[in-house]
Chains A and B, each alone.
Chain A
Amino acid sequence: MTARLTPFKAGARDILGLPLLLGLAATTQADIDPMARMTAVTQDISEATNGRLNLSGYINGHYMTHDGLPDLVNKHLNHALWQIREASLFADVVITDSLLFSTELEMSYSFTDKEHSGRKDSFEALLNYYYFDFDVSNALGWDTDEVGALHIRAGRVLVPFLSYNENKPNFKQNLMSQPFTAWQLAPVNNVAIDFQQFGWTDLGAILNWNYAFDEAGLFDVKFSVINGLGTKSAVLDNNTVQLNSPGMMKPTVRPRDGLVNARSDWDEFSDVNDEPALVLKASFVPAAIPLNIGVSWYQGAWDKEGDHDLTMVGVHLDYLQRNWNIKGEYVEADVEQQAGINVVSAMGPAMINVSTGDYTMSSWYLEGAYVPFRYGSDNEKFLKTIIRLDEVDTNDKALFTPFDRERLTLGLEWNFMHNIRLRYEWQRHKIHDFDNAPGPYIAAGGEEEVTMNMISLIAHF
């Protein structure tokens, strides 16, 4: 749709993006409370259906610019991006006291034209997840104080791996940008090269058991069988980009941008091979402090023949207080892969594109947020300061990949009215081993340091 716009219209739309965002923020300062009204509507719907149909949702828009990224032939990464990143409607239907159906309709719209955003479509909509949740302990009348509670969830489910994927909506997070653990390793949001996915979901089932110890705390374990990550290609990280270097030569390279859920389409049910992937997540919340710590494990074959495994292990922690919180994740992924394969048929440097054989990816993040003061009725309005450090290496055997980098993110959030907040984020990325960067990457504008600025408006009901 946006491809038909003239350059003037496309440019004007980008320029208008920021004032529109700020204008919306200013408008919502008036004597209206849109989120309270939305909540009231959903409560009316719930009451009209005797509590059976329960709706909620959120929306966020953002304006983002980068500096220091290389220019690509079909995507200009340093160009401003203005988009409704997510607009979601959650629906939970109580079928019986023990059976619940849950789904999320998620939409996204880019105001920036395709040439600059790199998106296939300006508008995307999908059912992010859809599943039935059966409360076995309730149906069988178990004494959960004695034996714990057991649920079975089946359908397209959020993959229970680490903490971020199950809590990705930005109103639940301190920052709009995802940490590298979720962006490059666990494919919560696919990397910007191929902007398609809204969360790591997959077809399968989850067995969830939890038990509350009297003094110690709460233990929760989720065991999941899903189709798993995979690709029909001979290498797992098979994404390619064409560098827009000066001159006639436009080399095609593998950016090695991390794990991508190649079958992320919401109506994709097939597996790439006959072997399901297994996921295990165990978490613990001590009774004395609001700390959620856990370990996650994933294993599954990613190739057509089912000969090569992807194995991931990770840990997470969330310490959540009203006025401050600390969050963090660490994840390592081991990929079995044949060496010496070049899947790039277009012209490009073999030293960059040939597969390295088995390799390891790793990533971590640590984030802190603090609310220095609150105001308004019920102290609901506040200012929040945020800092995040994260690091990623998507292939420890590769001579150079732009996704071997560290990053500092600073953020400021202003919750200026009921359930509506404005965020500003600044980032500085430092690419590791930049001395090994190939000439065409540098010629296309790629720099050792990348900076990012983003302003977002986030609302939920």
Chain B
Amino acid sequence: MIKQLKLPCQALLFVLLVVTGATIQAAGVDVYLVYAGADKKLQKRIRATLPGDLAIKSYNASLLMMADYSGKQKAIAKLSSAKLVVLINKQSMELLGNPRFPNALMVTGDSSQEIDKIKAALGP
């Protein structure tokens, strides 16, 4: 058994060490806006109200309905690199499988109250 496991494990460790060692820190995304397909317009409106000097990216979580089985993990790994993950409505959270982001905030609309919540979470 050990003999059969040896080669795949060696290959896995080698690749992970090389690839992880070659990793470059992400380019510094301030905010990831995560939304379900039905909230595309809402996401655009929220994005338009946020300060222009922020590095903002969006992620359509409905894509996960068509992704392969490690799609959620890939998405979470990418989103976690942002200073703040803004989850638009509960559906976006459910599409991601209810992950525990250390830096997440949920909003339900684009009212000034909700926008202020995002700005407050980003700090001064």
Contact = CB atoms under 8 A, between A and B. Distances in A.
Q: Is B one of A's binding partners?
A: yes
Interface residues of B, number: 44
A218 B64 CA distance: 11
A292 B27 contact: no
B22 A168 contact: no
A125 to B, nearest CB: 5
Nearest to A107: B5
A167 B52 CA distance: 39
Contact of A46 (B19, B65, B80): B80
Interface stretch (B38-46, B105-113, B115-123): B38-46
A125 B38 contact: no
B17 to A, nearest CB: 10
B9 A105 contact: yes
A320 B65 contact: yes
Contacts, number: 135
B24 A218 contact: no
B44 A124 contact: no
B6 to A, nearest CB: 9
A288 B38 CA distance: 7
Contacts of B67: 166
B23 A292 contact: no
Nearest to B29: A97
B23 A123 contact: no
A249 B63 CA distance: 57
Interface in B15-51: 15-16, 19-20, 22-27, 29, 37-38, 40-41, 44
Contacts of B57: 138
Contacts of B29: 97
B37 A130 contact: no
Interface residues of A, number: 64
Contacts of A104: 70
Contacts of A105: 8-9, 12
A234 interface: no
Given A95-B24, A105-B9, A220-B63, A287 B16 contact: no
Contacts of A43: 100
Nearest to B22: A95
Interface of B is mostly: helix
Contacts of A10: none
B54 interface: no
A292 B68 CA distance: 13
Interface in A47-102: 49-54, 56, 90-97, 100-102
Interface string A199-231: 000000000001010100110100000000000
Interface string A356-385: 000000000000000000000000000000
Contact of B1 (A1, A169, A290): A1
B77 A51 contact: yes
Contacts of A1: 1
Given A100-B78, A125-B9, A49 B20 contact: yes
B69 A169 contact: yes
B37 A217 contact: yes
Contact of B19 (A101, A166, A218, A285): A101
A28 to B, nearest CB: 21
Contacts of B81: 51, 94, 97
Contacts of A90: 70, 73
A109 B1 CA distance: 9
A267 B7 CA distance: 10
Contacts of B27: 96-97
Nearest to B91: A290
B22 to A, nearest CB: 6
Interface in A163-179: 166-169, 172
B65 to A, nearest CB: 5
A296 interface: no
Contacts of B7: 267
A261 B80 CA distance: 37
A96 B78 contact: no
Contact of B26 (A49, A91, A96): A96
Given A92-B74, A318-B65, A212 B37 contact: yes
Interface of B: 1, 4-5, 7-9, 11-12, 15-16, 19-20, 22-27, 29, 37-38, 40-41, 44, 57-58, 60, 62-63, 65-70, 73-74, 76-78, 80-81, 94, 100
13 contacts: A50-B25, A93-B16, A96-B26, A103-B12, A105-B9, A123-B5, A145-B44, A149-B63, A169-B69, A172-B69, A210-B63, A210-B66, A285-B66
Interface of A: 1, 43, 46, 49-54, 56, 90-97, 100-105, 107, 109, 121-127, 130, 133, 138, 144-145, 149, 158, 160, 166-169, 172, 210, 212, 214, 217-218, 220, 266-267, 283, 285, 287-288, 290, 292, 294, 318, 320, 322
Return the 7 tightest CB-CB contacts between A and B, nearest first.
A166-B68, A123-B1, A97-B26, A54-B77, A287-B38, A101-B19, A287-B37
